[in-house]
Amino acid sequence: MTNLNLKVKATANIKKNRLVVTVQGNVDQKSLEKLYTEIRFCVADLKPGFEVISDISQCNLIYISGLPVYKKIIDYLVDNKVGEIVRIIKNDNVSFKQIVNFSEKIQCYRTLYAEDQQEAEHKLNTLIRRDGIRFTLNSLVLAYTADERLGTGELVDISTSGCSVKAPTVPVAVGGVIEMTIRFEQHQTLVSVFQAKAQIVRADTEGFAAQFMDVDDTRKEALYNRLAHEFHQISFVL
């Protein structure tokens, strides 16, 4: 049966450095491959840090056969240094639950959600700018020193400008400065240890958020490449 409501489309707003994606109907593998091609052409016209508005509010479902292509699209956006992403959704749609569950399975990245285009635009226009997306790599552990005490915590998310941490073993205070270390598996070309000073910008009993200090563009690039590598290593099983 022909899917009359099917629509997949990607457009580039060069002035706003923004990729706009629309997905409607029951989406199969062939449709997502078409979308992937359109996204590649659009991203070629955008600068690193480009924003994304992804409207899946009228998407009924994505066939399981299409999910690997969806992962390929995500990988492509990460490789091209995507910035903030807003998804326009309807909470009662199967696709919304499906994509959220899938994103959690592959430990994706932090996204914003909106109910319509206007809200999506507002969120992008008013948010605090970061250097890139916030990866949610649950396997990473942060070691830090605060007031000469050594502590550890689990990374909730991390970007090239800062991180959020849960379950810290040593308390910190807003405005304080910590010395932090993140260790990765040894790699021939990618950074294996990232060390930096960071200022605490939020803290409570559950965890804290910190902004990296004195990290130049070269080190940010190296950190991003390592985080992207870790992201790509996540196994994908249907």
**pLDDT (tens digit, 9 = 90+) per residue, 53-86?**
999 888 876 777 777 888 899 999 999 999 999 9
Taking the C-alpha atoms of residue 4 and residue 137, their distance in angstroms, rounded to an integer, is 39
**Distance, CA of 231 to CA of 177 (rounded, Å):** 28
Residue 164 has pLDDT above 90, yes or no: yes
Q: What is the DSSP letter of 109?
A: B
Q: How far apart are CA 96 and CA 62, in angstroms?
A: 10
Query: Counting beta carbons within 10 angstroms of the beta carbon of residue 76, is it exposed (0 to 12), middle (13 to 18) or buried (19 or more)?
Result: middle
**Which residues contact residue 236 at a Cβ distance below 8 angstroms, ignoring those fewer than 6 apart?**
68, 71, 105, 106
Which domains does the chain possess? 7-126 (3.30.750.24), 141-232 (2.40.10.220)
Rounded CA gap, 97 and 74, in Å?
17
Q: How far is CA 79 from CA 26, 43, 184, 237, in A?
A: 27, 11, 19, 21
Least confident of 50-54, 146-150, 231-235: 231-235
Phi, psi of 235 (to 5 degrees): -70, 145
224 three-state secondary structure: helix
Q: What is the pLDDT of residue 126?
A: 87
DSSP string across 133-164: --B--TT-EEEEEETTEEEEEEEEEE-SSEEE
Cα radius of gyration rounded to whole Å, the chain: 19
Question: Residue 185: is its pLDDT beyond 80?
Answer: yes
Question: Which amino acid does the sequence have at 177?
Answer: V
Q: Is the pLDDT of residue 1 over 50?
A: no
pLDDT value at position 67?
Answer: 79
Distance CA 199, CA 196 (A): 10
Average confidence score pLDDT of the chain: 89
CA distances from 143 to 135, 169, 208 (A): 18, 10, 13
**Quick check: 51 pLDDT over 60?**
yes
* pLDDT tens per residue across span 124-158: 988 877 777 889 887 789 999 999 999 999 999 99
Distances (CA, A) of 185 to 17, 145, 176, 222: 35, 22, 29, 15
Rounded Cα distance between 157 and 109, Å, is 8
Distance between CA 36 and CA 42 in Å, rounded? 10
Residue 2: pLDDT above 80? Answer: no
Average pLDDT over residues 175-192: 96
The model's pLDDT over 189-213, given as tens digits with 9 standing for 90+, comes to 999 999 999 999 999 989 999 999 9
Compute the average pLDDT of residues 37-43: 98
Side chain identity at 123, as an amino acid letter? Answer: K
pLDDT at residue 22 is higher than 80: yes
Identify the residue with better confidence: 100 or 22.
22
For the whole model, what pTM was predicted?
0.86
